[in-house]
Structure 1
Amino acid sequence: MENKAEKKGGKKIKLILIGLIALIIVGAGGYFGYSKFAKDKGTQKTSTTSQTAQTTTQAQAKTNQNQNQSYLEQIVSEKNIGLDECLVNLADEDGKRYVKTKIFVGYDKNSKLETELTEKKPLIRDAVIAVLRSKKAAEITPKNMDNLKMELIQKINPLLKKGQINNVYFSDLLVQ
């Protein structure tokens, strides 16, 4: 009798183990199949989303450029201070391109800012050089000058505590 019970119990264990193994295999196959198909659809959605984001970004850049241009055209500084001549290597691949420029920063009448600009001239020149060094020769065009000016203003203003500059003027500009 014990032998019959053991055989009956052994058959049940075998059936349960076979069922579990089959369930694991079907579950793993379903998981990997779903992951593969969901990944492909997700990639398609991502590429469509990235194209939409790119288009939106380009439109925003164009709007920002127009806003920068109109902003800079409206601002005429009451005073300005020269930052001396800068000769900077550009970020082109061949490393043989450079820009030579004379820059003035414009601000409203504020004697405190004038003294601060004079005192911090080396820091401001360093910020200007850092911005120019990150550019390629193709980026320094008349079309992109307003963006470059805005980038310089955004880089210089955090350095100042007694006021803000409101414009950047290029006296000389040579890209070689």
Structure 2
Amino acid sequence: MAKKVPKTEEQPEATPKKKGNKLVLILAFILLAAAFGFGGSYLANKYILPKKAEAAKNDKTTISKDEVLVPISKFVVNLSGNSNNNYQYIRLKVSCLVADKDASENLTKSMPLVRDSVISVLNSKTANDLLEANEGINNLKTAIKDKINQEYGQTIVKQVYITDLVIQ
């Protein structure tokens, strides 16, 4: 009879176990990575994002439920300071924040007054006035708001938002 030879590490039957071990490790790693990904997303949505949303609610620039934004169509206006036939233009689109729907309707009815106020403010500005570091655009928004309220005779516009601006 033939003698049975004990199996050694060099025999081909031992290699399938190594491939199987690698496959199990790869699958375990993938499952672990997926679990950490879902767990991290869950924790971020539960604890981090609500704090950011709450902070945004407490921001002073939020618009209340009663307030209304009134968009005003585009302006293309010559800027002042046109020396040496060097004309500069501004294209501007603004929206005005008003207290409620009634104020919105009143402002919409008075749109020629609003447009005239904005044009008169823009005609008095130079490109350098508007392009100042941090003050230029903020000063323009304040000037537009003040001029509209002055011409209207009462405070109707709470804030002016610039939605489009090109200076050429």
Matches within 5 A, 1:6-155: 74-77=60-63, 78-94=67-83, 95-109=86-100, 111-141=101-131, 143=134, 144-155=136-147
3-state SS in 2 of match to 1:100:
strand
> How far apart are residue 127 of structure 1 and its match?
0.3
Identity among equivalent positions (%) equals 29
Distance in 2 (alpha carbons) for counterparts of 1:161 and 1:130: 17
Count of aligned positions: 103
Does the 8 A contact of 2:117 with 2:151 survive in 1?
no
> How far apart are residue 115 of structure 1 and its match?
1.3
- Greater helix share, 1 or 2? 1
Runs of 4+ in 1 over 3 A off after TM superposition: 73-77, 159-163
3-state SS in 1 of match to 2:125:
coil
Distance in 2 (alpha carbons) for counterparts of 1:118 and 1:149: 19
- TM value normalised by structure 1: 0.53
Compared CA separation, residues 122 and 74, structure 1 to 2 (3 A): same
Compared CA separation, residues 82 and 93, structure 1 to 2 (3 A): same
Distance in 1 (alpha carbons) for counterparts of 2:126 and 2:157: 25
3-state SS in 1 of match to 2:157:
coil
Distance in 1 (alpha carbons) for counterparts of 2:77 and 2:164: 13
- TM value normalised by structure 2: 0.56
RMSD of Structure 2 on Structure 1 (CA): 2.0
Structure 2 gaps, min length 5: 1-58
